[in-house]
Amino acid sequence: MSSIDDLEPCPSCKSSCDKTCRLITTAKEFFGEKPDEPFFAHALGKMVKGKNDLRRQAKARGLVEVGNEDVGKLIDRSDREREKKANDRWSEFTNPAPYQVRG
């Protein structure tokens, strides 16, 4: 713990800092894989160089990836459809079709 409390040179001004101005950063790799990092693609059954390589090989085989659509887009689409249905029902209620008299 004592090494954490030691003064360190500031990365921007190079003067000694106290622990209140210490910068803490995290690596991006903890939150997801790099797009260029090779990984095993279960859909193809082999290693690919990255996500772009996976898309290219899947397209060459005529495969289409499903199930990876953005959740926000799905919610927006269902909200639009629900609103359209409600508006259509309301317009049918307020503007009914004229009756036809059969003779």
pLDDT in tens, 63-84: 887 777 778 888 999 999 999 9
Q: Could you tell me the two tokens for 58? A: 């899947």
Q: Could you tell me the two tokens for 27? A: 């690596």
Chain position carrying tokens 């289409």? 64
Region 35-62: what's the mean pLDDT? 88
In this prediction, residue 21 has a pLDDT band, given cuts at 50, 70 and 90, of low
* Cα three-residue angle 87-88-94, rounded to 5 degrees: 85
